[in-house]
A and B are shown apart, each in its own frame.
Chain A
Amino acid sequence: MKSKKSIALLVALVVMCVPALWAGGAQEAEESGAGEKVEVDIFQFKVEFKDQFTDLAEEYMQENPNVDLSIKTVGGGDDYGAALRSRFASGEEPAIFNVGGPQDVADWLQFLAPLNELEVTEKAFDGVLGGVTMDGNVYGLPYNQEGYGLIYNKEMFSEAGIDPAGITSFAKLEEAVEKLDSMKDELGLEAVIAFPAKETWVTGLHLSNAVLSQEFDNVNEAFNADSVEFKYNKGFQKLVDLQNGYSVQPTLSLDYSQQVEQLFAGEKVALIQQGNWAYGSIAGVNSDLAGKIGFIPLSVEDGVGDSIPVGVPMYWGVNKQLEEDVVAEAKKFLNWMYTSETGKRYVLEEFKFIPAYEGYDVSKVSDPLARDILDFSARGKTLPWVFMGYPTGWGQNVLGIDIQKYVADKMSWEELIAHSTEEWESARQ
């Protein structure tokens, strides 16, 4: 009796699975039934624009019925590298995948097709291809440009009588922060700044980049450097101290969402170090505020004080190990995405990208953070992104962690500099 019952149970469970398998099987059948179509697998990391990107792919497939684009998205920074390796290891190599900078290009070189002859490559702005160029070959196409700095609340600044345009040095920045701090009650602030030390990408990559981009001229220089000097050592420390000291505490558990959505969008702080990607999150919580924000520079004492770092977060690479027609179609699609009228419209209006290519009417860019970045760029007040040239894992897992230890008083600043330098050097041996 009992055995019958348990067999019946198992059968029932198997039956429950059948629809799933069937669906899976049907999908596979459909894919293989595509016949003459050229299949282009895209494996990308940007979660935020997944839906809009899929729409664009649909449009492309309607124009080009011989191509079948399939998009796979793996989000969350760290995971992408591991997922990509696993993807390649499983033999299902994507035709289009993402590379971040010189280290990725070096790692994946055997798979990367040169993209020099494409129209889109020629249209790319000066300097945006540096990190993916090796021996004269271009191996990646920029997604877009992004910039970061200190995002400020315009109303609070005017209420406090601070002119954001006047902040062109660390001393002025410090002064503004102190002023805001003295008016916390009137402004209804919990603290002036929200400093998310928990997010090692904010500290170990972005914040450090504001300093190290004045030491390395570009990402390749950082990539080839045997050591790191920390030329603006004191300026770096002061920037950390300022942000941490005037922040909502404890900073060690403060994460991106608390920083942006809870505290800044909730108007509990007046200033946060973030990039234009935060616009969507802010607008999602407080649409009133979203129109009244902008960037001020992340000033470094004794260094550049009036510029913001602008760079390319990720590049598209094409897998040259696949069949020729797949490689050709992959290139064609990328070219189309950034040069055709439809593609451009998507890039600007749907993806809300700051383009890294010529031929765009950027006056259509509407969000105030992106506008500010364009403004800084137009005035030539930008610093490069060099953190993709740090040794693998160094920015987040060494420096970012050490900054956490520093703000927790578990490590002195001298120890931080010594340890980070040592780790950089040992990685570059």
Chain B
Amino acid sequence: MIYAGGLPIGEGPSALFRGVAMPGSIKRRLLFWAFVGPLVFAFFVVVVIPFLWGIYYSFTEWNGIVRSQVEWVGLQNYIDLFDDEQFIYSFWFTVRFAVVSVILINGIGFALALMVTQPLRSSNALRTVFFMPNLIGGLILGFVWQFIFIQVFSALADVLNLDFLRGWLSTPETGFWGLVILMTWQMAGYTMVIYIAALQSIPGELLEAAEIDGSTLWSKTRHIIIPLVAPAFTINMFLMLSNAFKLYDQNLSLTNGGPFNSTQMLAMNIYNTAFQFDKMGYAQAKAVIFFMVVATVSIIQVRMNKRREVEY
């Protein structure tokens, strides 16, 4: 920071408004709020108030119709959660999905990054193709892949005589892998871009030196590249993990939770509790738990990130 240790805090601006009739501190405060106020206002109305209000809601029962009764039920919603098989199932399904997809997305993304940073003639074209799905909305991609899994896979099964390509999305297993494939396809390009940035920041001399030493590509990768892209790895992990936990659009358009709610993830479980069973308070209790899980996962991630940064 270039300016660290400059003027004492707050003195700068007040000194600058000397000579203005209004007392400096009031004017300064007004200016502060003029700049910060609009964003803070929107933030409070849209995020903070609903968040706090939601905690209150989670102790009530309400059917979602305006002007109808909101009933205080205390902790009942939270107690019911522990008996809710579908909720518990969705929770573990989401965890399972998050772990598998995060590993695959990062593994493939990293491999792609290694590949396209080699002097390939097709390098730019490949980057373009790999990254493209990332820009398109999850809802739309889910519909496209529904077509692939159901219609195209069964056509391929006929041509290639491969039975495992039949009946996709009709069993919990194929539903799970369908979601994983969709997300890997969509997000691998994203992690690739970030890994490319990390790879390009590795000083060339380091690699040349290794080459002169006669290191193989593998040992180069292991001893130089992997340690240096570790921060990028943490970033990708964090982004993909929280992304996987919050996933809704792709879930909705690809499987809509089917078959028999076996691919219903947490976000969808909350949505359906609210809008198909008309239990707003109960859904909100789930949402509060959902927040706690996502926040915990994220905080653990950030902690690990910090520790790493110290190590390197």
Chain A contact residues, CB within 8 Å of chain B: 78, 81-82, 85, 88-89, 107-108, 110, 197-198, 249-253, 392-393, 396-397, 401-402, 404-405, 408, 410
Contacts and interface: CB of A to CB of B under 8 A. Distances in A.
Given A85-B65, A107-B65, A198-B259, A250 B277 contact: no
A197 B260 CA distance: 9
B54 interface: no
Interface of B: 63-68, 150, 166-172, 258-261, 272, 275-278
B171 A249 contact: no
Contacts of B172: 408, 410
A294 to B, nearest CB: 30
Contact of A89 (B63, B66, B275, B276): B66
A250 B170 contact: yes
A197 to B, nearest CB: 8
15 contacts: A81-B275, A81-B276, A85-B275, A89-B66, A107-B65, A107-B278, A198-B170, A249-B167, A252-B259, A253-B169, A392-B277, A393-B276, A404-B258, A408-B171, A408-B260
A402 B260 contact: yes
Contacts of A82: 275
B276 A401 contact: no
B3 to A, nearest CB: 23
B275 A252 contact: no
B129 to A, nearest CB: 26
A253 B167 contact: yes
A281 B67 CA distance: 41
Given A197-B259, A252-B167, A404-B259, 7 more contacts: A85-B65, A110-B67, A198-B170, A198-B258, A250-B171, A251-B170, A405-B260
The 10 closest A-B pairs by CB, nearest first: A253-B170, A404-B260, A252-B170, A393-B277, A82-B275, A252-B259, A250-B167, A250-B170, A401-B260, A405-B260
B66 A107 contact: no
A85 B276 contact: no
A73 B57 CA distance: 31
Say what secondary structure dominates the interface of chain B. Answer: loop
Nearest to B261: A401
Contacts of A197: 259
Given A397-B272, A397-B277, A107 B63 contact: yes
A85 B66 CA distance: 7
Contact of B66 (A88, A249, A392): A88
Contact of B65 (A108, A392, A397, A404): A108
A402 B275 CA distance: 20
Say what secondary structure dominates the interface of chain A. Answer: helix
Contacts of B171: 250, 252, 408
A82 B172 CA distance: 27
Contacts of A402: 260
A89 B280 CA distance: 14
A393 B277 CA distance: 5
B260 A107 contact: no
Given A392-B277, A392-B278, A408-B171, A253 B66 contact: no
Contacts of A252: 167, 170-171, 258-260
Contacts of A408: 171-172, 259-260
Nearest to A258: B150
B272 A410 contact: no
A78 B170 contact: no
A397 B260 CA distance: 8
Give the residue among A249, A250, A402 with the most B Cβ atoms within 10 A: A250
A110 B63 CA distance: 14
A110 B69 CA distance: 11
Contacts of A392: 276-278
Contacts of A397: 261, 272, 276-277
A401 B170 CA distance: 13
A107 B259 contact: no
Contacts of B260: 252, 401-402, 404-405, 408, 410
Give the residue among A252, A392, A405, A408 with the most B Cβ atoms within 10 A: A252
B169 A81 contact: no
A347 B64 CA distance: 34
A405 B150 CA distance: 20
Contacts of B167: 249-250, 252-253
B150 to A, nearest CB: 6
A249 B259 CA distance: 14
A157 B42 CA distance: 67
Contacts of A108: 65
Contacts of B275: 78, 81-82, 85
A296 to B, nearest CB: 28
A82 B170 CA distance: 27
A253 B276 contact: no
Nearest to A82: B275
B255 to A, nearest CB: 10
A78 B68 contact: no
Given A110-B67, A408-B171, A81 B278 contact: yes
